[in-house]
Every structure is written in C-alpha cells, then in structure tokens.
Amino acid sequence: MKTIRKVVLLSSALMLLVLPTVTNAEENSNSPLHWGFKKGENGRQADAGRMFEVILEDHGAVYKGDENAKDLYLTFDNGYENGYTAKILDILKKEKVTAAFFITGHYLESAPELVDRMAKEGHIIGNHSWHHPDLTQISDEKIKQELEMVRAETERITGRKHMNYLRPPRGIFSERTMAIAKEAGYTHVFWSLAFVDWNTDQQKGAQYAYDKIMTQVHPGAVLLLHTVSKDNADALENVIRDLKKQGYSFKSLDELMLKKAGMKNPMLY
C-alpha cells in the first residue's frame, strides 16, 4: 500500500510540473494583428472583414459607426508637435467640431500647453501610449505602465481624471493587449478612413489631403489624421465645410459610444 501511495503521489507531482499554468496571456492570443480594411468609396462604408469585426466586437472596440447615419468622428494622432496643432484647434473651434486627440508621452512633455487647450476647448484626449511601442512585444505590467503614465500626466496638465479611449501604436494589437487595456478601463478606437499623411518630408499639398478624405468618406466614418501634416492643417477647414454641405455631422467619440454601447461617462472629467 505504501508503494502504491508513493507512486500515486509521484504521479500527481509530475502532473503538476507538466500541466501549464493558465494566465491571461494564454487565455487571449498574443499573435500580432495589424489593423487594416478595405477603403470606403462612393459613400459605402469601409470594411475590415469578418475576423477583425468579431475580435472588435468581443473586446468592445470600434472602428466605424452607423452605416445609416451621416455622422463622422474626427480623430488625430499626436506623436509629436510639428507646428500645426494650434491651427487645427483654431479651425475646430471656428467650425464648432469636437475631435479626439490620441497623444503620446513625448507630446505631453513637449506640448503641454496644447494638451491643456484641447481639454479646455472640449476635445477628447485619448491614450496613444507613452513610448509608442508595439504593445504585443511588452509585458502585461509594462502595457499598464505605458497607459497609466499618459493618463497621470494628462491629469496633471488638465486636471481631468479619467481617460477611456486607446489607439494602439502603429495599429498593432492582439487579443491579449486588447483584454489588458479593457481591464484598465479603455475602449480601443481604430479607424475607417486614413491615408499616408505622416511623412513630413513627403507632403503633397492641401488638395491631395482633401481628395484623399473626400473620396473615402462614408456614413459613420472614424477619420484618422496626423497633426504633423501640413497638408491636413491646410485642407481641414474646406473638408469640414464641404462635408457639412453634403449633410454630414461631426460627432464625438462619446456620442459614438453612447449610441453603440450606452457608455455613461465622458472620456475626461
């Protein structure tokens, strides 16, 4: 009996050594995904495909709004300041349009006065991480640190406490990173309209930016523009005015989330 008991105990011990420990990373795949979609045209919505649609739905993320409503959601990525954000803010104020600005640690350190202005003028400030890393390549704890550093510094500058929206750096994400961000209180916001506008040494003029936006625009579009682009700053006023003439209305991400998920709190307060 003693021998049998020893064998059973030994077998149990070996099983404990062999069986994997279930972690959040194993429950949610960390295979890197690169955001992409079929562009909208002739008023038809962009389409990210079934796989992305399911993943976003599972994690409460968004990339476009209602196909039956001519609502637009204007968002900007702010990795660093290149001298055009003040002009963009002037246009938004003039046209009474609320936008979302996804900012990095570098932006917070180099342009705090613009971040404060964004908040004071009613714009949403979103999290774009502190160092702009590929989130799929860093630990759970590091992801949380990246996001918290941005939130805390935004609070210090603006006095506003909560931050609800995240745009993953470089458009790279995984189910693991989405789960970590969601647990931290963030909704991933992707986009359904974009073009190569971030190369500061390859700007092609305001008309180019205008055409790229107008040919892709569709009901429910989440527009992604980069504030480093002179073309965007120069084209923005005409874009907004002409889209309004076409019957489009510019809404905030808060309004999108209220419509899609009944979200109660604004991005910052």
Q: Which residues are catalytic?
A: 77, 226
The single-letter code of the amino acid at 171 is: G
Long-range contacts of 235-238 (CB under 8 A, 24+ apart): 235/206, 235/207, 235/209, 235/210, 236/88, 236/91, 237/91, 237/94, 237/95, 238/206, 238/210
**C-alpha to C-alpha distance for 84 and 231, rounded to whole angstroms:** 10
**C-alpha to C-alpha distance for 34 and 173, rounded to whole angstroms:** 7
Does residue 193 contact residue 222 with C-beta atoms inside 8 Å?
Answer: yes
In sequence order, the 6+-apart residues with CB closer than 8 A to the CB of 105 are 129, 130, 131, 149, 150, 153
The SS3 of residue 101 is strand
